[in-house]
Amino acid sequence: MSVYVVVDNEVHQPEEYAKYLELITPTVAEYGGEYVIRAGEILLADSDWQPDRLVVMAFPDAKSAKAWVESEEVRPIHEMRRKYATSKLIVIEGVKTAKS
């Protein structure tokens, strides 16, 4: 079953945040993940929630997703995200299907 990492970022320092993006991007694939949403245009909202930069990544399983989030190697890069943006991150299970 796919597991998703969802990140809601309000970027405060765009120039520095761009450096974070350069570093974090290849690590997602290294841990078996792929970007599903990466700050796409919000087409409709039925509330006042307007994320500045919403990111969703799919990982093949919880072990891979948690390994990416908790990796000692990636930790300094995650710290950059928290330094240059107000950031909320969750790891959440996808829908269980007949294939999973």
With contact defined as beta carbons under 8 Å apart, do 11 and 84 qualify? yes
pLDDT class of 16 with cuts at 50, 70, 90: very high
Range 3-42+51-93: architecture per CATH: 2-Layer Sandwich (3.30)
pTM above 0.85, yes or no: yes
Task: Using the predicted structure, report yes or no on whether residue 14 has a pLDDT greater than 60.
Answer: yes
Q: What is the pLDDT of residue 42?
A: 87
With contact defined as beta carbons under 8 Å apart, do 11 and 85 qualify? yes
Going edge to edge, which strands form the sheet with 34-38? 34-38, 53-59, 3-11, 85-93
In angstroms, the CA 57 to CA 33 distance is 6
In angstroms, the CA 37 to CA 58 distance is 9
